[in-house]
Structure 1
C-alpha cells in the first residue's frame, strides 16, 4: 500500500481521468461521465457523481455491474483515497477518505509547490525577447501597454523556470538607467550589464548577406550605383522583399500586408543581439518568443523574417510571437505613461493606507509595504486578463485595500497579511504558555477538518496553432490567487481557527493551522512567479 509519504501528488484532474477510464471499456461512447460535486449539502455524502443519465449510455438502465465497482475499489481505493463507491438513485457516488487525503496533501506540500524536476538530459531552452525594450529608450517613453508586455515577460520567465525550462531574457539593460531603476521599483527581475555588447562584426556580416540576397531589391553598398542609393531614404540601408520570402519558404501566420521592408541599422543591431544571445546560450535548437504589444506586432514580424533571411546556418531557431492586447487608460489621466501610472497607483495606496491605519503608516517598513502593494496591484490589473485581450484601465477608481468585494492584487496581499498575522498571534500565544508547540504533522488527526479541501494545479503550456502566434494562459496564476483569496476570506470569516486554550480543542486548532500553513505556502509560491513579496503585516 502507498503511504502518504510515498504516494505521488494528488490532483483532481488525475483523479477524474482515472475514474473515467475505470468505467469505460473498448468501444464505449464518448462524453464525460464523472462530475466533481460542489454542493455543500451533497458533499457530506459524495465527492464525485456519475449521473444515471450519463451511465445509461454505457450500461443498461444506468446500472454499473457490481464486479466493475469492486475492481474500481480494488485498484483505486488507496491511490485516489476512496472511502466508498455506491449505486444511488442519482447515479454512482464516490465518497473520499478526507482525513487520509488531508494527511497526504497537508503533510507533503513540497509535492505541490516545488519546481518540476527536469527529466531530460538537456534542458529545454527558451529566449524571451521583450520587443518594447529593444530600442533602449528612456523610461518616459514606456507606455502602460509596454509595461504590460514587460510584466508578462517577467512572470512567464519565472513560470517556465519552475516547469524545468532554461530561460534567457533579452535585451540586457544598462545599469542605473531610468528604465532599469523603474523596473527595480516594480520588483521586476531583469538581466543587466555594465556595458553594451558590441555587435559591429555581426552587423557588418548582415549587411554583406543582404547585399547579396536575392530578396534585396535595393541596397546601399559599394557595388550599388549612385542612382540606386539615391532611391532609398537617408537612414535606410536596404529594401528587402519579405512577401516573396514568405511565399518561397511557404511560411504561415504572417500578416498578409507584409511586403517590402525598409531595413535600418537599428533593425540589424536588434537581430545581432538576438543572434548573440542564441550563440552565447548555445540555444541553436531552442525557442525564441517575441513578446510584443499588438501595436508593434507588424514591425516585429519584419524583424522575424529578416532574421530568417540573415540566419544562413544549418541550425535555425524556432521563432514564435506572444502578442499582448493594448491597455486603454480611462479617465482624466488617459495619456499617462508607465512611470506616471506607477506613481499614481502608489499615491493612491499611500492615501488608502493612511485612511485605514492613520499615524502607523510611516517608516521604512511601511514604505516597503506600500511599494510592494502597488507592484502587486499593477501586476494583477495588467496580467489577470488573457494576454491577447485588451485591458481597460479605469484610474478614476481608487485602490481598495479592504476585505470587502475587491478582486485585486491588494485583496490577495491583504489575505496573505491575515495569514501572517494569524501565525504571529499563535506564536505569541505559545510563548505565553496558552497553547502547546505545534506538533509534528504525523501526530495530527485531520478528521477534525470538515471543510472540503481542493488543491488546484495550474498548468502553463507552450501550445500554438499552426503559424507563428503563441497562446499561453498567462492570466491563470492571477485568477487562481484571486479565487483562492475569496475562498480563504470566506473560510477565515466563518471558522474560528485559534480556539480557546482548552486541551480538548487543540487537535482541531492544529489541524486548521496546518491547513493554513499549506495555504500560506501556496500563496507564497504563486506570488513568487509574479515576483511579489507577501506582506508580513498590514
Structure 2
C-alpha cells in the first residue's frame, strides 16, 4: 500500500488565529499569499464568467459562481450537502484558498510513518483534512468545492474533522483566542513564581519554558476531550499546577523530573561514583520486583506502540466526508503514565548508594525509566510539544 500525505488544516478565518496557532506550536504557514491570491482572482474573473447580479457588488465580493458541476462530479459520493449550488466569491475566500495552497505546497514529500495509509494511493497523493467547527462546516463545504473549481492542483481528497463548540464555565462572556492564551500564560508564570519563590518572567532563560508550558496547558486542556464533543473550559488558577494530575503542566513536570534523574546519574558517573551504563543485554530485569515497576512496564511501555498506531491513524481511507481523531486517548495515556511514574518516583530511590551490589538493580531501573522517558517524549511529539528538562 502506498502512503498518503495528509495535511491537517484549521479553517482559519479569525485574523488572530494564526498567531494563536503559532503560540501553540502548530505548523501553519506564515508566508504571504498575495501572489497566489492574485492568480486565483484572475482565474475567477477571466475563466469562470461570474454572474454579477443586481448591478454593483458589495465591497470585497467578486460575484457568484455555480458549484453544481463540481458537486455532481465529486461531492455527492463524498457526502457533501446536495443543496450546495451557488457560491458568493469574496476576497476573503480567495485569501483562505491561497493560504490552503501555501499549506499544501509546504507539506513534505513523505508522511511520518503510521500517520495515514490508504490502499491504491499513488505516491504523490495529498489528502487535506479541514479542522472545522460544527457551525462552519457548511461554509467549508462550499470552500472545498470552490477550491476544486479554481485550482487544477487542488488535492483530490478533502475531508472534514468537525469539532464541537468551546464554552467557558461560569461565564456567558466570550473569550478570544489571544485572551485565552494570555490568561494561561499569566497563570503558568504565577504558578512558577509560587513554586520557586521569585518571579521569573523577566528571566530570558525561562521565556521558552513558559511558552512551552502555556502551549502544553492549552493543548492538553483542549485535546483531552474528544474533538466532536463540547469542550467546557475552567479558567481558574487551580487548573495550572505541577501537582494537578489532569494538566499538561503535570506531564511536563514529570518529563523534567526524568531529565533531572538522568542528569544526576551522568554527573555522578563523571565524578566516579557510578560505573558507566552497561550493555542492555547484560542487565538482570528480574531485579525489578516493585509493583510500580511492572505497572510502568505493562500499562505504559508495552502497550504504547499499539496506542500510537491507533491514535495517529486517522480513518482516511474510509468513505464519506468526515474523519475522527482520538486526541483524548493520547492525552489521557500521558497523564496516567505521569501519575504512575510520579507515584513510583516519590516512593523509590532510583540512584542509591554507590555500592557495587546495588548497581544491578539501579541499572535495571534506569533502563526501565529510559523507556518511560522515550514514551513520554514520543507522545508529546505527537501533540507538537517538546519535552522540558526543568520547570
**Smaller-chain TM-score range?**
0.7 to 0.9
Q: 1: CA distance between counterparts of 2:161 and 2:42?
A: 30
Q: 1:333 to 1:376 in 2, by over 3 A?
A: farther
2:331 matched residue in structure 1:
478
Q: 1:486 to 1:276 in 2, by over 3 A?
A: closer
Q: How does 1:84-483 map to 2 (within 5 A)?
A: 124-132=4-12, 135=13, 138-139=15-16, 142=17, 179-180=18-19, 183-193=21-31, 196-211=34-49, 219-220=51-52, 228-230=53-55, 233=58, 235-242=60-67, 246=71, 250-255=76-81, 258-271=84-97, 274=100, 285-310=125-150, 317-332=156-171, 334-359=173-198, 361=200, 363-403=203-243, 406-450=245-289, 451-452=293-294, 453-454=297-298, 455=302, 456-457=304-305, 458-459=308-309, 460-463=312-315, 465-483=318-336
Show CA shifts across 1:435-464 (max 9, x none): 222222232212212332232222222315
Q: 2: CA distance between counterparts of 1:349 and 1:273?
A: 32
Q: 1:536 to 1:245 in 2, by over 3 A?
A: closer
Show CA shifts across 1:123-161 (max 9, x none): 5333333321xx4x642xx4xxxxxxxxxxxxxxxxxxx
TM-score, normalised relative to structure 2:
0.80
1:528 aligns with 2:381: yes
Q: Which has the higher strand share?
A: 1
Q: Could you list the runs of 5+ residues in structure 2 that have no partner in the other structure? A: 110-122
Cα pair 2:36 2:98 within 8 Å, conserved? no
Q: 2: CA distance between counterparts of 1:389 and 1:273?
A: 28
Q: 2: CA distance between counterparts of 1:273 and 1:425?
A: 47
TM-score, normalised relative to structure 1:
0.60
Show CA shifts across 1:306-341 (max 9, x none): 23344568x961111122222112245842211111
CA shift for structure 1 position 345: 1.0
Structure showing greater relative contact order (alpha-carbon pairs closer than 8 Å, 6 or more residues apart): 2
Q: Highest CA radius of gyration, 1 or 2? A: 1
Q: 2: CA distance between counterparts of 1:357 and 1:536?
A: 16
Q: Which has the higher helix share?
A: 2
Q: 1: CA distance between counterparts of 2:345 and 2:89?
A: 60
Cα pair 2:216 2:385 within 8 Å, conserved? yes
Show CA shifts across 1:44-103 (max 9, x none): xxxxxxxxxxxxxxxxxxxxxxxxxxxxxxxxxxxxxxxxxxxxxxxxxxxxxxxxxxxx
1:510 aligns with 2:370: no
Q: 1:201 to 1:345 in 2, by over 3 A?
A: closer
